[in-house]
Structure 1
Amino acid sequence: MSSFDTDVPVLLLRLGPGSPDRSTLDAVRSLGRAGIEVHAAVASARGPVNRSRYLHRRYALPAGPMECAPLLDLLRDISEGLGRPAVLLPMDDRGAIAAARLAGPLLGRYLLPAQPAGLPERLADKAELALLCREMDLPHPSTVLPTGAQRAADAADELGLPLVAKWSRPWLLPASTGLRSTTLVRTRDDARRLYELSERAGSPLLLQRRLTGGPDTERVFHGCFARDGVLLTGGSDRTRRARPLPTGLLALGRRPPHPQVEQAALRLAGHLGHHGILALDFRRDVRGRFHLLGLHTHPGAWFRLVTDPSSGLDVVRALHLDLTGRTEPLTRSAPGRQFPAGAPALPSGPATALAGHPGAERRGAPPTIRCRSSP
């Protein structure tokens, strides 16, 4: 395995409010244990990330909605303090979108993957994802973008109840609305009322056929791709337990290989000409096909499942090697690896108890990032 260029630090960027999630902590530990100096620009001073011995320094983000100009000023100030170029590693959709928009002004200060303009924003948009899956003939749940409240109610009949409602651009959800990015809709009136909140949500509403659950239903792919589209490291893993049930964050994951999921991920990355990290969420239907539900250009909360046991290479280490000119060959993590991930795991119980859980907790959304396309 190539040695890391430890003269090049990493700045983790997470623009969501609250304590940083599991992926941020795992990135700090993984890079820090490799001897790389790790910095983090995050909203909260709480949580284990800020207490990690591998974190060199934390930078506070300004309170409230994050405009492009203040963020650019902050990143420039951090760069001046570092005194040398650093890898900029976004840890959520808001950070990935902002970093892509500011890539030009940050040139020479930060190392970023070479991506098509606007790609992180396009991939995080649920409506754009549905169009992309149709374009590539990838399995995706039947989806309706209603044009009115009555159309939303009619779509509930077409898709079948209960169905899944999503906001197209969840990063635009104002925290004051209390709206969740994904909601289980049980009645026609629920679909109608949710559509009427579209203006407050800041993006269109999608109604989607619900894929029934069962054993081996959830799969996630994590990968890091070189500039030429070659997979540096990656693979799939499976959700074993989630909190809150049944639609919450992964609490326990397992690492069995899955050719169908991995081939779909490789095909998608090649089609997009993607450079950098990809995290893809899949769900299986009753016919055994895995549908693509989510796509992100930052590390997922359980990316450490996909780690090569002999070299310790994961997606964040692979990205640092690639951006510093020390590209690694393809590696695969060992099947069967299991560990707690994005949320505390619940005690095991009867399957009937899990299936009967009332659903996810209500939670507020992070503040919006107001950026023009040309900052």
Structure 2
Amino acid sequence: MSSFDTDVPVLLLRLDPGSPGHGTLDAVRSLGRAGIEVHAAVASARGPVRRSRYLHRRYGLPAGPMAHAPLLDLLRDISEGLGRPAVLLPLDDRGAIAAARLAGPLLGRYLLPAQPAGRPERLADKAELALLCREMYLPHPATVLPTCAQQAADAADELGLPLVAKWSRPWLLPPSTGLRSTTLVRTRDDARRLYELTERAGSPLLLQRRLAGGPDSDRVFHGCFARDGVFLTGGADRTRRARPLPTGLLALGRRLPHPQVEQAALRLAGHLGHHGILGLDFRRDAHGRYHLLGLRTHPGARFRLVTDPASGLDVVRALHLDLTGRTEPLARSAPGRRFRAGTHAALPAGPATALAGLPGAEQGGAPPTIRCRSSP
């Protein structure tokens, strides 16, 4: 295994105002245990991250949404304090989008994957993901993008109830609205009322046919890629329990290779020429096909499930090695590694079903159904 360049620190960036979860803590621990100096700029002062012995320093962020200009100033100030280039590692969609947009002004101060500035934003957009699946013939639930409340109600008849409603760009949801990124819609009137909140939500509403899920139906892929989509490390895991049902965080999971899911992930990364971390959520339908339901360009909360037992390599360590020019051989984690999220796993939850996260895709077949309707 290549040694880490411990002269290059890491700045973790999390702009979501919610309390940092175990994924943030795992990133601090994984990098810190490798001897890398870890700093964190997070919007919340809550949670165990600030008490970790592996965290060198925490930088607070102002409450509420942060515009790119003040964030750029803050990142420059942090860089001045560090006195040397650092790997910038976003931990949420907002951070990944901001980091990509600011990559040019931050050149020389921070190390980031080479990618188009708008790619993280496009890949995190649920409507764009549906179009990408259609382009690549990846299974994806039938999706309707209504342009009026009546079309939203009609989609309930077309897709069947209950159906899944998603806001296209959930990171734009104002906290004051109380709206959730994913909602289970049970009636035509619910679909109509939800559409009427589009202006408050800040992005279009998508309505999708629901995949029922059930035991062993959810898979998540975690991977890290060098330039041009060259695979460095990663693999798939299986959700065993989530809290709360049906859309909660993972409580129990297990590393379990899945060729169908992993091949779909590698094909997608190669198609994009993706550089950096890639997380994909899949769910199996009644015919055994795995539909891609979510995508992120930052570490997920459970990335440590997919860790090579011999080298300890995971996606955040692989990214540091790649960005600092350390060659690392391909590493796949062995099956059987388990994940337990504190007290979440001790609570009765029944079979895990996560509407926002789902299983790998088959090649070929008819493209997914996606309808962008025009007003009557």
CA contact (8 A) 1:308 1:314 kept: yes
**Which residue matches 1:125?**
125
- How far the C-alpha of 1:250 sits from its partner, in A, is 1.1
Q: Could you tell which deviates more after superposition, 172-181 or 60-69?
A: 60-69
What letter corresponds to residue 129 of structure 1 in structure 2?
A: L
- How far the C-alpha of 1:47 sits from its partner, in A, is 1.1
Q: Could you tell which deviates more after superposition, 123-132 or 241-250?
A: 241-250
**Which residue matches 1:263?**
263
Q: 1:164/1:350 Cα in 2 relative to 1: closer, same or farther (>3 Å)?
A: closer
Does residue 281 of structure 2 align to residue 281 of structure 1?
A: yes
- Say which SS state the counterpart of residue 144 (structure 1) adopts: strand
- Say which SS state the counterpart of residue 29 (structure 1) adopts: helix
**Which residue matches 2:227?**
227
- How far the C-alpha of 1:229 sits from its partner, in A, is 1.8
CA contact (8 A) 1:21 1:342 kept: no
CA contact (8 A) 1:23 1:342 kept: no
**Which residue matches 1:310?**
310
What letter corresponds to residue 140 of structure 2 in structure 1?
A: H
Q: 1:319/1:349 Cα in 2 relative to 1: closer, same or farther (>3 Å)?
A: closer
Q: Partners of 1:261 and 1:307 in 2: how far apart?
A: 17
Aligned-residue identity in percent: 88
Structure 2's unaligned 5+ residue stretches are: 357-376
Matches within 5 A, 1:290-309: 290-309=290-309
- Say which SS state the counterpart of residue 313 (structure 1) adopts: coil
Q: Partners of 2:343 and 2:113 in 1: how far apart?
A: 29
**Which residue matches 1:330?**
330
What letter corresponds to residue 270 of structure 2 in structure 1?
A: G
Q: Partners of 2:224 and 2:13 in 1: how far apart?
A: 18
The alignment of Structure 1 onto Structure 2 pairs a total of residues equal to 355
CA contact (8 A) 1:16 1:43 kept: yes
Matches within 5 A, 1:1-375: 1-341=1-341, 344-348=344-348
Q: 1:15/1:230 Cα in 2 relative to 1: closer, same or farther (>3 Å)?
A: same
- How far the C-alpha of 1:343 sits from its partner, in A, is 7.6
Deviation sequence 1:291-336 (CA, Å, 0-9, x none): 0000000000000000000000000000000000002111110101
Q: Partners of 1:112 and 1:159 in 2: how far apart?
A: 41
- How far the C-alpha of 1:342 sits from its partner, in A, is 8.7
Structure 1's unaligned 5+ residue stretches are: 361-375
- Say which SS state the counterpart of residue 229 (structure 2) adopts: coil
TM-score calculated relative to the size of structure 2:
0.92
- How far the C-alpha of 1:27 sits from its partner, in A, is 0.4
What letter corresponds to residue 306 of structure 1 in structure 2?
A: V
Q: Partners of 1:302 and 1:183 in 2: how far apart?
A: 23
- Say which SS state the counterpart of residue 228 (structure 2) adopts: coil
TM-score calculated relative to the size of structure 1:
0.92
What letter corresponds to residue 72 of structure 2 in structure 1?
A: L
- How far the C-alpha of 1:253 sits from its partner, in A, is 0.8
- Say which SS state the counterpart of residue 18 (structure 2) adopts: coil
Q: Partners of 2:81 and 2:329 in 1: how far apart?
A: 34
CA contact (8 A) 1:93 1:296 kept: yes
Pairwise CA RMSD of aligned residues?
Answer: 1.5
Q: Partners of 1:227 and 1:144 in 2: how far apart?
A: 34
CA contact (8 A) 2:241 2:350 kept: no
Q: Partners of 2:22 and 2:147 in 1: how far apart?
A: 37
- Say which SS state the counterpart of residue 345 (structure 2) adopts: coil
Q: Partners of 1:28 and 1:308 in 2: how far apart?
A: 18
Q: Could you tell which deviates more after superposition, 182-191 or 340-349?
A: 340-349
- How far the C-alpha of 1:155 sits from its partner, in A, is 0.2
- Say which SS state the counterpart of residue 228 (structure 1) adopts: helix
After TM superposition, the runs of 4+ consecutive aligned structure 1 residues lying more than 6 A away are: none
- How far the C-alpha of 1:341 sits from its partner, in A, is 3.8
Deviation sequence 1:86-110 (CA, Å, 0-9, x none): 0000000000000000000000000
- Say which SS state the counterpart of residue 240 (structure 1) adopts: strand
Q: Could you tell which deviates more after superposition, 16-25 or 335-344?
A: 335-344
- How far the C-alpha of 1:44 sits from its partner, in A, is 1.5
CA contact (8 A) 1:93 1:120 kept: yes
What letter corresponds to residue 126 of structure 2 in structure 1?
A: K
What letter corresponds to residue 90 of structure 2 in structure 1?
A: P
- Say which SS state the counterpart of residue 345 (structure 1) adopts: helix
What letter corresponds to residue 302 of structure 1 in structure 2?
A: R
- How far the C-alpha of 1:350 sits from its partner, in A, is 6.3
- Say which SS state the counterpart of residue 264 (structure 2) adopts: helix
CA contact (8 A) 1:224 1:319 kept: yes
What letter corresponds to residue 154 of structure 1 in structure 2?
A: D
Q: Partners of 1:349 and 1:292 in 2: how far apart?
A: 24
Q: 1:120/1:86 Cα in 2 relative to 1: closer, same or farther (>3 Å)?
A: same
Q: Partners of 1:72 and 1:317 in 2: how far apart?
A: 25
Q: Partners of 2:42 and 2:113 in 1: how far apart?
A: 21
- How far the C-alpha of 1:340 sits from its partner, in A, is 1.3
CA contact (8 A) 2:93 2:120 kept: yes
